[in-house]
Amino acid sequence: MSLLFSFSETTIETSTPQIELGQGRLQTLVPIAVIDIGSNSVRQVIYEGLAQAPSVLFNEKVLCGLGRGMVHSNRLNESGVDRTFLALRRFRALGEQLNVSKTHVIATAAVRDAENGKEFIENVTRITGCRVEVLTGAMEARYSAMGIQSGFHRPTGIAGDIGGGSLELITVDRELGEGVTLPLGGLRLTELSGGSLTEAKKISRANLKEVTLNWPGIERNFYAIGGTWRSLAKLHIANKNYPLSLVHDYELSADEMMDFCKFIATNDVSKMSGIDAVSRNRRDLLPVGAVVMRETLRALKADRVVMSSLGLREGVLYSMLSAEEQARDSLLVACRDLSTLRARNPEHCQELATWTEKAFATLGIDESENDRRHREASCYLADIAWRAHPDFRAQQYMGIIANAGFVGISHEGRAYLAMANYYRYTGLGAKVTPPAIATLASPIVQKKARVLAAMFRVLYLFSATMPGVISQLLIRKDDSGGVVISIPQAISDLRGERPNERIRQLGNELGVNVTLEVV
């Protein structure tokens, strides 16, 4: 039997290849990490860099339960300490592997309150090689509030951050108020109440009775932070015919949340739809977390609940930014970054934003501040799905927008972004089925997204995604109430049947006659 291949014993010299940063990464940023040592969980988040809208390179959480049993022992849980040290060794190795430039280690309620906290901190410093910042309750509240500032566009209300050992409350506006900390974390309250939800309710009510925070504005928005409360939101979304699974900026009335929390506290959550999305260790804290949420909303007399995926860790990063960086619009920053990474020509996307701004103004299409932001963001994202097969670009785009980690945008705003480019690819005919996400937007927002899509469909046929063409196309109203798009003689060969058909479709969306003229 002959062999197709023959092998000889050879020595292969190997060397570590020089791997350049992938083009899916922003070249100007260097990774930075935050390790958050909480009463229930220990988490490391490695961000792409210090920026207004940082992307997460790596995120890992270990439910160590450091604060378990502290109500009775006043010491960190021994098993939890061992698990924490093991996790921190792994976190350090991961940080070195990802070339993290700086790691910020913070510790919260359990560590600051435990009698063996000092010894624990010394060991953490030795393992991580980093100084540990043990946050006071006021500092914890302030960082959480900064997380809200980084994750929402001009937030106003009260933020609440529930951890394993404490609950922090603080007013959020242009200026941050004084925060308060209460012993109402999930683990601590479970132990203080002996596992009785009735007793947990009494303890919560007694502590919240002393809170004297004032609402900073007319709207009484309660920004909810913390893994237990995010899990409540996941369950609420799963048990509702809701087209998005994103928790960040998920909104509901305080009354609806209070009713849901009452249901959670009095029923078997293990049989609920969506429970598989909640870790088993977290499920045990859902009922007591629901009690704290309900009592907090009742005590503060909140009107609405706004869920946040950003909190303490993001607040730490936000605090390091300059005032100029903090003032940047996190949504537009993120969308420009994605345009830089994915679009064929980001300069063309900027031209889209400039042209459509002038067009909306010329046509008298009224835009609120958020409408303007959402239109501009849609322009930056207009070409991110170009590598997909033409038949599936709409679906590709919808998948990105529905799940992208953008912040500073409501779910209605996300629907605007999704519709503008969905219709750009599918067309605007009567047979085109609106995406499910459209139900999150008002009729007027849906209409603005369709008009923007119609403009995209015209402009892309003239520019073929290259800059320098769109800026030469001028739009104006004529004396008869119609709309005229002017194209210079020098580039008039770009006219054709397809552009003419798209111009007709734009007219249908605007409800006026649109013509093309050569000047």
Three-state DSSP at 516 gives strand
Largest CA distance in the chain: 90
The whole-chain average pLDDT of the chain stands at 93
Q: Which residue from 133, 84, 142, 125 is spatially nearest to 104, judged by alpha carbons? A: 133
For 471-485, the pLDDT digits (tens) are: 999 999 998 989 999
Q: What is the pLDDT of residues 313-330, one digit of tens each?
A: 999 999 999 999 999 999
Which strands sit side by side in the sheet containing 514-518, from one edge to the other? 474-477, 483-487, 514-518
How many Cβ atoms sit within 10 Å of the Cβ of residue 49?
16
Q: What is the pLDDT of residue 5?
A: 39
Q: pLDDT tens for residues 447-469? A: 999 999 999 999 999 999 999 99
Q: Which of the four pLDDT bands, split at 50, 70 and 90, describes residue 255?
A: very high
Domains and CATH numbers, the chain: 32-134 (3.30.420.40), 138-317 (3.30.420.150), 330-469 (1.10.3210.10)
In angstroms, rounded to a whole number, what is the distance separating the alpha carbons of residues 414 and 15?
47
- Rounded distance between C-alpha atoms, residue 182 and residue 204, angstroms: 9
pLDDT for the residue numbered 280:
80
pLDDT at 21: 56
d(CA 239, CA 223): 21
Considering only CA atoms, give the Rg of the chain. Answer: 27
- Measured distance CA(413)–CA(382) in Å, rounded: 15
What does the pLDDT average to over 253-257? 98
The model's pTM is 0.91
| pLDDT of the residue at 20 | 54
DSSP-derived letter for residue 343 is -
Element (H, E) at 71: helix 70-73
Provide the phi-psi class of 215: left if phi over 0, else alpha when psi is between -120 and 50, else beta: beta
Q: Which of 23-32, 219-228, 302-311, 384-393 has the lowest mean pLDDT?
A: 23-32
Query: How far is residue 411's CA from residue 331's CA, in Å, rounded to a whole number?
Result: 13
CA-to-CA dists, residue 99 to 131, 279, 310, 317, angstroms? 18, 30, 24, 18
Whether 77 and 7 have beta carbons less than 8 Å apart is answered as no
Angle at 281 between CA 276 and CA 286, to 5 degrees: 75
> What is the rounded average pLDDT of the residues 24-35?
89
CA 347 – CA 221 distance, rounded (Å): 38
Contacts of 107 (CB under 8 A, 6+ apart): 37, 38, 117, 121, 124, 132, 133, 134, 135
In angstroms, the CA 278 to CA 445 distance is 34
Q: How far separated are the first and last CA of the chain, in Å rounded?
A: 80
Q: Is the pLDDT of residue 131 over 70?
A: yes
pLDDT of residue 108 exceeding 60: yes
DSSP calls for 285-328: THHHHHHHHHHHHHHHT-SEEEE-S--HHHHHHHHHS-HHHHTS
Residue recorded with tokens 């450091």: 66
Judge residue 366's burial from the number of C-beta atoms within 10 Å of its C-beta, 0-12 exposed, 13-18 middle, 19 or more buried.
Answer: exposed
For 210-243, the pLDDT digits (tens) are 899 989 888 899 999 999 999 999 999 999 989 9
Residue 22 has pLDDT above 70, yes or no: no
What is the pLDDT, as a whole number, of residue 16? 44
Lowest mean pLDDT among 18-27, 135-144, 232-241, 332-341: 18-27
Unique residue bearing structure tokens 């309660």: 222
158 secondary structure, DSSP code:
E
